[in-house]
């Protein structure tokens, strides 16, 4: 049964109580609106279709972002970058309640941010917000009036992926420039042969490498899905030339050290606009040029969809022409 009372502010407060239901309270500007809401709630309860959105109305975006950072984020990868995105979301949207976050509000956030940063950054921020809201819905039991609003907006259109490939001449010059950085030289050659990420190469351990079957197991990946990468004859030869370390690490250096050595070598070799990650692009493109199928390449690279894999694949027209005959 509904109870209405007029507050000292002139507004009307209504409370709906039903058996086995938590009391619901809401305040309105007029008695008419309060009475209409009460009758609607009572009707939904009677018909068994009532969903309580009060927690979504009383919980702010700032609160769920803080809870996510405390309970969920520590077990995730790339904590630093996600924390930065949570901070930006909290600054822009933190004062809104979950129930007040609409698709139009997020579309406006998207458009404003696109004037400040690139589309990839905006997409990352919205994806983080989507994960937080999904966690609130699925794990914390907070019902949203219209579901996850992030899923109801268009994500920013991403630019075409980099098409930078390393030429045979550049590869020779780069490896020559790394002659004084033996481990970095091995890492560069290994990256071109395997398509593995810089972090995956840096964290390799001998216990996860089977030279007999020519495979390396990667237990910790960017996507959280472990995978096994086949090794070419050349990749095996590279590993055999690396002396064993007592600590079991293959290279014994961190990913940042690879980047520094790589950048300095490019400068010495006179190579412009080349990044270590471009070696992954190069390797994947070469896999296709060798005739590997899409599923085979995806198994090696760890990509889950063709759309994701395509951004890393740039086939040379002249090589395709040779295959055509």
* Residues 6+ positions from 267 with CB-CB distance below 8 Å: none
* DSSP notation for 126-184: HHHHHHHHHHHHHTS----BTB-GGGGSPPPPPPPPP-----HHHHHHHHHHTTT-HHH
| Tokens found for residue 233 | 């004859």
Number of C-beta neighbours around residue 249 at 10 A: 14
**Of the residues 280, 281, 286, 314, which is catalytic?**
280
**Could you give the count of Cα atoms lying within 13 Å of 262 in the half-sphere of its Cβ?**
20
Catalytic residue flag (residue 222):
yes
Residue 277 annotated to the active site: yes
Active site residue 20: no
Whether 68 is catalytic is no
Check 31, 39, 76, 222 and give the catalytic one.
222
Query: Which is the catalytic residue, given 18, 277, 310, 311?
Result: 277
Candidate list 110, 286, 312, 314, residue with the active-site label: 312
Nearest CA to 299 among 195, 191, 193, 162?
A: 195
**What are the angstrom distances between the C-alpha of 101 and each of 6, 95, 104, 140?**
29, 10, 8, 18
197 catalytic residue (yes or no):
yes
First-residue to last-residue Cα distance in the chain:
82
The verdict on whether 87 is a catalytic residue reads no
Token pair 């216990």 is found at 207
Catalytic residue among 124, 198, 281, 303: 303
What whole-number distance in Å separates Cα of residue 135 and Cα of residue 153?
19
297: left (phi over 0), alpha (psi -120 to 50) or beta: alpha
Which residue matches tokens 């889950």?
Answer: 304
User: Of 197, 198, 286, 314, which is the active-site residue?
Assistant: 197
CA atoms within 13 A on the CB side of 96: 13
Q: Which residues are catalytic?
A: 197, 222, 277, 280, 303, 312
């Amino acid at each position: 049964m509904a109870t209405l009372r007029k507050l000292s502010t002139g507004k009307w407060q209504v409370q709906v109580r039903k058996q086995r239901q938590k009391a619901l309270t809401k305040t309105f500007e007029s008695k008419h609106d309060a009475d209409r809401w009460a009758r609607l709630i009572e009707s939904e309860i009677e018909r068994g279709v009532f969903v309580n959105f009060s927690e979504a109305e009383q919980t702010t975006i700032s609160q769920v972002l803080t809870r996510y950072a405390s309970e969920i984020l520590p077990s995730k990868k790339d904590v630093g970058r996600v924390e930065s995105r949570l901070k930006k979301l909290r600054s822009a949207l933190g004062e809104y309640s979950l129930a007040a976050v609409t698709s139009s509000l997020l579309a406006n956030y998207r458009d404003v941010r696109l004037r400040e940063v690139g589309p990839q950054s905006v997409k990352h921020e919205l994806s983080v917000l989507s994960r937080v809201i999904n966690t609130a819905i699925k794990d914390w039991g907070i019902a949203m009036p219209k579901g996850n609003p992030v899923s109801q907006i268009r994500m920013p259109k991403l630019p075409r992926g980099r098409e930078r490939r390393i030429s045979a001449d550049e590869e020779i010059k780069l490896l020559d420039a790394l002659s004084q950085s033996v481990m970095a030289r091995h890492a560069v050659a290994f990256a071109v042969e395997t398509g593995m990420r810089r972090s995956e190469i840096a964290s390799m351990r001998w216990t996860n490498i089977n030279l007999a079957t020519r495979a390396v197991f990667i237990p910790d990946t960017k996507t959280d899905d472990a995978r096994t990468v086949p090794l070419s004859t050349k990749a095996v030869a590279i590993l055999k030339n690396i002396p064993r370390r007592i600590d079991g690490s293959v290279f014994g250096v961190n990913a940042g050290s690879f980047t520094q050595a790589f950048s300095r070598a490019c400068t010495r070799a006179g190579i412009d606009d080349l990044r270590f990650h471009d070696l992954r692009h190069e390797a994947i493109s070469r896999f296709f040029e060798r005739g590997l199928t899409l599923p085979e390449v995806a198994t090696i690279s760890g990509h889950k969809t063709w759309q994701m894999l395509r951004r890393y694949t740039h086939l040379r027209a002249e090589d395709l022409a040779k295959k055509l005959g």
